[in-house]
Amino acid sequence: MYQSDKLREACGVFGVFAPGSDVARLAYFSLYALQHRGQEGAGIVSCDGRVAHVHKGMGLVSQVFNEDNLQALHGHMAIGHTRYSTTGAPRLRNTQPYIVETLDGPLAIAHNGNLINAPQLRRELLERGVGLQTSTDSEVIIHVLAGAGSADWPARIRILMAKAEGAYSLTILTRNAIYGVRDPWGLRPLALGRLDDGRGYVLASESCAFGTINAGLVQEIQPGEIVKLDADGYQIFQGTPPEKPAFCTFEQIYFARPDSTFNGKLVHKVRQKLGRQLAREAPAEADMVMPVPDSGTPHAIGFAQKSGIPYSEGLIKSRYIGRTFIQPTDELRRAGVRMKFNPLPENLAGRRVVLVDDSIVRGNTSGPLVQMLREAGAKEVHVRVACPPIRFPCFMGVDMASQDELIAARQSIAEICEHIGADSLAYLSLDGLMKALKAEEGYCNACFTGDYPFTTAIPLIELQAKEKFAQVWGN
């Protein structure tokens, strides 16, 4: 199957405590807004203080849920999840939220991120006789919580945080409350919101989820913090001391929706700044600036603003080419880029083009796009990339765990330029990236530098297999 030349994020998470509201419907529309963070599966767990109800399935949010199964999700609180697999295959048993019954009532979790010490935690659980049913690190989290040996849920969460190493933003459902948890490095985002009708509070991976349900942003949860939502409102307390901040740079570059905010800054505006900095560092003699839609659009706007070269569109993206269970023919698979993009020959004919993209990962999209523009009449194609070359794998919740997949790990910029057939190629520098973000530190740039935020003794190369727990299940 055609493999997109984009990084894929792990998941989106949501939580709500709102007596008197249709929490299942609130969860549904919020997950819909977080669909960009995961398209393989979705699920919701609700609770009325006594009994928990769950529905989840494979596919998009709109495919998993309907009026009938939403009406069965009773209660005044709920958590939800949209999944893209980084640990564990895209199968129903790996779809979240996970739920177990404890002596203190139901327990459910939704997880965004990746625990790099999951193999050790998993072995400890198996040695204690805990039966595991999935191939994900997220199931490890729920069993560590369930067996933490305290009736006090904040205490159990602190025990988990002391053991877990890696990236995690969690929403947790118990009998009486919803909890949100962010790892001490702050690798993955988590935000707190308040419903406009005053009935309750919500949690989500991104603030863009709040607008769809008439909620407003209260604040972002900080690294190492726990937030509790219950009948008394919300309470925030420190779960574990924060580490050196390492927010994933790719949330700003690509993962997050442009209408989300991080640290009080609109992502769309941040991406325009990246484009302007890219124009300063890598100018080009050209007649038009165009994006690889849609993720390259704000970067291209910024490039055009700074360079003075007119912005225009040269590619139209089909909004309906996404994940499908119907496999294309071999011929269509090879033409995967053409299934996704169509050129605008009248805009391109005889023109020198700056093609701006957010990133180049595997290099299997840029070449066909350059060729497509030339076939449509472009005289020159100058490719500009709004981040540094990606040379190292990520182990913190991004589906990019093999260095062999990364074209910049194998080839120089000049070689990549020749490989994709561009007239010129330039990337934003790391210094330029940090300058545009107005931050000397506070971000994880490991995929650019190989400098990981963890001191774990686990050889990271052992973590590169996406199906590292598959021996439990066979094929």
Q: Contact at 8 Å (CB) between 42 and 92? A: no
Please pick, among 11, 208, 394, 417, the residue that the annotation labels catalytic: 11
Q: How far is CA 351 from CA 91, 300, 408, in A?
A: 47, 17, 28
Short-list 75, 103, 138, 113, CA closest to 189: 113
Cβ(163)–Cβ(157) below 8 Å: no
Active site residue 11: yes
Q: Which of 409, 413, 302 is nearest to 354 (CA)?
A: 302
Q: Where would I find the H helices in 164-201?
A: none
Burial of 57 (0-12, 13-18, 19+ CB in 10 A): middle
> Helix/strand/coil (H, E, C) string of 334-395?
HCHHHHHEEECHHHHCCCEEEEEECCCCCCCCHHHHHHHHHHCCCCEEEEEECCCCCCCCCC
DSSP classification of residue 411: S
Asked if 279 and 302 count as a contact pair (C-beta separation under 8 A), the reply is: yes
Q: Which residue has the tokens 């307390």?
A: 237
Which residue is listed with tokens 């009998």? 175
Per DSSP bridges, beta strands 98-102 and 105-115 are antiparallel
Side chain identity at residue 96, one-letter code: Q
Quote the radius of gyration of the chain (alpha carbons, Å).
22
Tokens standing for residue 300: 């291209």
Q: Which residues are catalytic?
A: 11
